C-alpha cells in the first residue's frame, strides 16, 4: 500500500512539473509575441532567398506567419528548420503540391505559408477545439483564420482579454505590422493549435 502511495505521489509530482513547464513556455511565447508589437514592420510577402538555418526576411518587413516564426525563434525554436525537415520526410502530407504546384520542399518559403504551419502544428503539436466560446482558448495558443478572398491568416493568443473579458486578444499582422487586437472571432477560424516542443 505504501509503495502504491509513493508511486502516485511521484506521478503527481511529475504531472505538476510538466504542467509548470507548459505554463512557463506559454508565458514566454506570449511575451515574445507581445515583443513583436514593438517592431515597425511593413507588410510584404515577397519571396526571399534565406539563410539556413535561422533564415529570416529583412527585419523591417514581414507577414502574419513571420509573427509566429519570430516569436518562436526568440525562444530558440527555428520553425524554418523544423518545417523543412518534416517536409523533406513527409512532403505528401503537406499541401504544397496541391496549392502551389511544388514538387519538393523550399526552405526559403515553406515555413512562411499558413497552410504549411497548420499541417506542421497538426502533426507535431496539439489540435484543439474550434468554437465560438472564448473560454476554449488560452494564451499561447495559435489560431488560423480564413480572410475574405480565401486568404489564410495566423496569430498568437495572449493573456490580455477583451473589455468584457470573454476572449483573449491576438498578436498578428493583418497588414499594418504586428498588432495586439481583439479580433479572435472577426473571421472564420480554420484551426486552433498548441505547439510546445519537448513538453509532451
DSSP string, 81-130: HHHHHHHHH-GGGSSHHHHH--SS--TTTGGGSHHHHHHHHHHHSEE---
pLDDT band of 198, cuts 50, 70, 90: confident
Structure confidence by residue, pLDDT tens digits, 140-177: 999 999 999 999 999 999 999 998 889 999 999 999 99
Question: Where in the chain are the domains?
Answer: 2-194
pLDDT at 200: 45
191: pLDDT strictly greater than 70: yes
CB 65, CB 108: distance < 8 Å: no
pLDDT at 14: 45
pTM: 0.89
Structure confidence by residue, pLDDT tens digits, 95-119: 999 999 999 999 999 999 999 999 9
pLDDT at 21: 76
Strands 42-43 vs 61-62: parallel, antiparallel or unpaired: parallel
| H or E element, residue 30 | helix 2-36
Structure confidence by residue, pLDDT tens digits, 60-86: 999 999 999 999 999 999 999 999 999
Burial class (CB in 10 A: 0-12, 13-18, 19+), 160: middle
Provide CATH code, domain 2-194.
Answer: 3.90.1720.10
| Segment 35-59 mean pLDDT | 97
183: pLDDT strictly greater than 90: yes
Handedness of CA 69, 121, 109, 85 (dihedral sign): positive
Amino acid at each position: 500500500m505504501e509503495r502504491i502511495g509513493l508511486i502516485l505521489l511521484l506521478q503527481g509530482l511529475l504531472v505538476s512539473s510538466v504542467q509548470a513547464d507548459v505554463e512557463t513556455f506559454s508565458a514566454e511565447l506570449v511575451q515574445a509575441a507581445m515583443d513583436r508589437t514593438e517592431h515597425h514592420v511593413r507588410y510584404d510577402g515577397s519571396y526571399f532567398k534565406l539563410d539556413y538555418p535561422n533564415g529570416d526576411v529583412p527585419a523591417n518587413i514581414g507577414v502574419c506567419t513571420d509573427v509566429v516564426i519570430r516569436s518562436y525563434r526568440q525562444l530558440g525554436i527555428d520553425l524554418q528548420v523544423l518545417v523543412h525537415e518534416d517536409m523533406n520526410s513527409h512532403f505528401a502530407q503537406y499541401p504544397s503540391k496541391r496549392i502551389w504546384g511544388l514538387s519538393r520542399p523550399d526552405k526559403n518559403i515553406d515555413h512562411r505559408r499558413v497552410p504549411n504551419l497548420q499541417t506542421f502544428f497538426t502533426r507535431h503539436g496539439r489540435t484543439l477545439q474550434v468554437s465560438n466560446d472564448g473560454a476554449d482558448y488560452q494564451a499561447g495558443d495559435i489560431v488560423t483564420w480564413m480572410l475574405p478572398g480565401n486568404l489564410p491568416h495566423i496569430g498568437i493568443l495572449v493573456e490580455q482579454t477583451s473589455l468584457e473579458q470573454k476572449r483573449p486578444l491576438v498578436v498578428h499582422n493583418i497588414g499594418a505590422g504586428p498588432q495586439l487586437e481583439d479580433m479572435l472571432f472577426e473571421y472564420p477560424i480554420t484551426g486552433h493549435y498548441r505547439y510546445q516542443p519537448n513538453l509532451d
